[in-house]
A and B are shown apart, each in its own frame.
Chain A
Amino acid sequence: MPIISIRDLVVEYEGRRVLDGLNLDIEHGETMVLLGGSGSGKSTLLRQIIGLERPKSGSVHVKGIDVTRCNPLELKTVHRSIGVAFQSAALFNSLSIEDNVALTLREHTRLAPSIIDLVVWMKLAVVGLADFGKLHPQELSGGMKKRAAVARALALNPEILVLDEPSAGLDPIVAAELDELILLLKQAFQMTVIVVTHELPSAFRIADRIAMLHKGAFSSVGTREEIRASKEPRVRQFLDRVPGDIAHTPAVAAYLDKYMQVQET
């Protein structure tokens, strides 16, 4: 039985269809990468999976609970088994990195403070931030913030780890380090990992399977090799970095011609 099962998911914002009848199963221990261009609906799908928004229709079952229809108590139960690292890291600026990681442990467990301190240190050590726990988020670099967000997401040993654009805005070296960290975490904790990204090297490094989104629908779902070998035009366009037709519309062409004529005279 898949740990996450998405069926006929339709999401609309003010009448505009953002996700159009998606179906996807994610198995236990699998790393699923949601790949797609800007505005393809990746982050919207992610917000549906973690139960932050309700769809127009369809269902998202996480560990057997439909997060689109469950009551708040059931949703909290689901949330305790999901760790999420947001695109902006979303660390609490008023708290130190240690306190950010300790927050869920203090709120959801009855562990003694000394044990919580130890767990926090371990989680920070896993992401290479053991010496930076006393700092506040605003004192960290972009890459360190992302790693701190991963440490916080790992605090309750979640079964599912969700990472929204983990390498966005990072230099290639730090992005590669994050990829290695994701692989290490999966190996060490045997967790299901869902990663939203549009970075191809990262996707092909960490994914077991890739689901390619285009205009709110899956254009292709498969293993890394299957996606690489895909002949599907949208997938090929994305993988081969072929520009879209925005720059070739008649209106833009006419404007450019006119501009060039003015420049020449």
Chain B
Amino acid sequence: MANVLEDVGRNTLSHLDYVGSLNIQLWATLRAMGSALPFVGNRYRWKETVRQMLEIGVDALPMVGLMAICTGFILAMQGASELRRFGAIHYVIDLVAVGFTREMGPLLTAIAVSGRSGSAFAAEIGSMKVTEELDALKVMALEPVEFLLAPKYLAALISVPCLSILCNVCGILAGGLFMFFSTHLAPGLYLRDVMASIQLQDVISGLIKSVAFATIIAHVGCQEGFRVSGGPDSVGRSTTAAVVKSTFLVIVADAVFTTIFYFTGKA
């Protein structure tokens, strides 16, 4: 019994330590963000931010687009199979449009970015730690949070919402294709119904989620990298942990946001 309590206590402390570290890292990054901004910040940092935006955003376009198209088809087909029985197949449009804008777009994007970029952040920073590059940065009077994390975080804050919008568009277009082939609904009419079903607050709630997901992915990925200790094998473990933890936290955050939006009448 004492051992069980000991384990519970140790795990609780360990999780609290992790959350505390994430918070400290977040505030340190927010303080350092100015250096990564264009015009007012350090131009080399901004250059790195743009490079990161290309990696997080542009390179992920095909993957996110394809995932969104597949999910759009799945959502439309699954919805249609049930709604058809009630003669309400027309509501597939609402299902796809609202479902993607509020939920599927930000979530799918976050899962894709977590797998691609969250793991890459952990691997990059973890490798740098193993090879003493982080120590080298410190003795060169450069702050790793400002030098490494700030550009990645800023890039994620810009790229993830943009990817999320693209994901919404692709998913909704897939729903349109399904409606065209299954009910011969004209694309113009489909788009008109989509625009009628989506409200501005749906788009805003989706974008708020995207920003929160970007924060989770960037910080969990980098935190896992900074926590690497030992040899190259720990880099592999941190990469896996980055994906698992960020995906888990993204889904938890999604549930929290959805609950808030539901009870405040915004969803």
Contact residues of A: prevailing secondary structure: mixed
The answer to whether A52 touches B139 (Cβ under 8 A) is yes
For chain A, residues 83 to 110, give those with C-beta under 8 angstroms from any C-beta of chain B: 84, 86-88, 90-93, 103-104, 106-108
Once A106-B44, A107-B44 are accepted as A-B contacts, the answer to whether A84 and B141 lie under 8 Å apart by CB is no
The minimal Cβ–Cβ distance linking B184 to chain A, given in whole angstroms, is 53
Q: Which of A17-25, A74-82, A196-204, A236-244 sits within the interface?
A: A74-82
CA distance A70 to B132 in the complex (A): 23
The answer to whether B136 touches A90 (Cβ under 8 A) is yes
CA distance A127 to B141 in the complex (A): 23
The answer to whether A52 touches B44 (Cβ under 8 A) is no
B interface, size bucket: 10 to 19
The minimal Cβ–Cβ distance linking B142 to chain A, given in whole angstroms, is 6
The answer to whether B132 touches A88 (Cβ under 8 A) is yes
Contact of B131 among A84, A90, A107 (CB under 8 A): A90
Contact with B along A119-156 (1 / 0, CB 8 A): 00000000000000000000000000000000000000
**Within 8 Å CB of A93, what residues of B?**
131, 133
CA distance A79 to B139 in the complex (A): 5
CA distance A106 to B35 in the complex (A): 14
Contact of A103 among B128, B138, B139, B140 (CB under 8 A): B140
Q: Does A210 contact B (CB under 8 A)?
A: no
Once A106-B44, A107-B44 are accepted as A-B contacts, the answer to whether A80 and B135 lie under 8 Å apart by CB is no
Once A103-B140, A104-B140 are accepted as A-B contacts, the answer to whether A92 and B133 lie under 8 Å apart by CB is yes
The answer to whether A79 touches B141 (Cβ under 8 A) is yes
The answer to whether B133 touches A82 (Cβ under 8 A) is no
CA distance A247 to B44 in the complex (A): 55
**Within 8 Å CB of B140, what residues of A?**
79, 103-104, 107
Contact of B139 among A50, A88, A107 (CB under 8 A): A50
The minimal Cβ–Cβ distance linking B144 to chain A, given in whole angstroms, is 12
The answer to whether B138 touches A86 (Cβ under 8 A) is no
For chain A, residues 6 to 48, give those with C-beta under 8 angstroms from any C-beta of chain B: 47
The minimal Cβ–Cβ distance linking B82 to chain A, given in whole angstroms, is 51
**Within 8 Å CB of A76, what residues of B?**
141
Contact with A along B139-160 (1 / 0, CB 8 A): 1111000000000000000000
For chain A, residues 48 to 82, give those with C-beta under 8 angstroms from any C-beta of chain B: 50-52, 76-77, 79-80, 82
The answer to whether B141 touches A80 (Cβ under 8 A) is yes
CA distance A77 to B139 in the complex (A): 10
21 contacts between A and B (CB under 8 A): A51-B139, A79-B138, A79-B139, A79-B141, A84-B136, A86-B135, A87-B132, A88-B131, A90-B132, A90-B133, A90-B136, A91-B133, A92-B133, A93-B133, A103-B140, A104-B140, A104-B142, A107-B42, A107-B140, A107-B142, A108-B141
- What is A's interface to B at a CB cutoff of 8 Å? 47, 50-52, 76-77, 79-80, 82, 84, 86-88, 90-93, 103-104, 106-108
Other 11 A-B pairs with CB < 8 A, given A76-B141, A93-B133:
A52-B139, A79-B138, A80-B141, A84-B139, A86-B132, A90-B131, A90-B132, A90-B136, A91-B133, A104-B141, A104-B142
Q: What 5 A-B pairs are tightest by C-beta distance, nearest first? A: A90-B132, A90-B136, A79-B141, A76-B141, A84-B139
